[in-house]
Amino acid sequence: MIIDVQQLGAEGAWYAGTEPAQLLEMEPGATVRPDGPVAFDVMAQLAGRELVVQGTLRVPLACRCNRCTEMFSTSLTISDFLCARELSTGQERVDLADDVREEVLLRLPHYPLCLPACRGLCPQCGQNLNRGPCRCAASPAEGLWAALQGLTLPTPAGRKTGDQHGRSQKEKIEKPGAHAQGAFETADSGK
């Protein structure tokens, strides 16, 4: 987003257009990634020696749901984009690509969900529960958890750190079964 300062009259000027998604420099395999260019529709004005730009940014996103792991499309709209740059003497053009990138990266969803009420995956069989109940529902899951809790396991040093912080939030939510299994392996290998 390049603003031509000399073209701004006393009232400022509107700028609308798109920036390629590469502007965001996001990893291709990220949980949330751009699915098209970043559109901007902003008003640029001079306030003394400062260039003030405000308006709307919009970017389509491809996200992987944190609960059910399905991909879904959404879009991020930032209607209160605002940045101000002090102009150096004789400066004719200002490139706001960095400001746009920072604003979009700050506002990306950190915990994307395909639906607020996404049911996620069954911890036992892995079925996507949004598509209906799995067979595990017939045999109560409490039995499994009660059995796990009844076991006394040695606690190797560092286990707390490894189990509590070493795994991402995503894994904890998606696969509590796999998580419990991991704890077992850690304990066994400590013998």
In the complex with Zn ion, the residue whose CB is nearer, 100 or 121, is: 121
In the complex with Zn ion, the residue whose CB is nearer, 71 or 84, is: 71
Note whether 173 binds Zn ion by CB under 5 A: no
Backbone φ/ψ region at 84: left (φ over 0), alpha (ψ -120 to 50), beta: beta
Residues 32-71 that bind Zn ion (CB under 5 A): 65, 67-68
Tell me which of 51, 59, 118, 121 binds Zn ion, using CB under 5 A: 118
> d(Cα 167, Cα 179) in Å, to the nearest integer?
9
Q: For the window 97-116, what string marks contact with Zn ion as x by the rule CB under 5 A?
A: -----------------x--
Is the Cα torsion angle 130, 134, 140, 146 positive or negative in sign? negative
Tell me which of 19, 99, 122, 174 binds Zn ion, using CB under 5 A: 122
Shortest spacing between CB 123 and Zn ion, in angstroms: 8
Tell me which of 13, 56, 124, 163 binds Zn ion, using CB under 5 A: 124
Note whether 129 binds Zn ion by CB under 5 A: no
In the complex with Zn ion, the residue whose CB is nearer, 56 or 74, is: 74
Note whether 121 binds Zn ion by CB under 5 A: no
Residue 125 carries which side chain, given as an amino acid letter? C
Chain residues that interact with Zn ion, rule: CB under 5 A: 65, 67-68, 114, 118, 122, 124-125, 134, 136
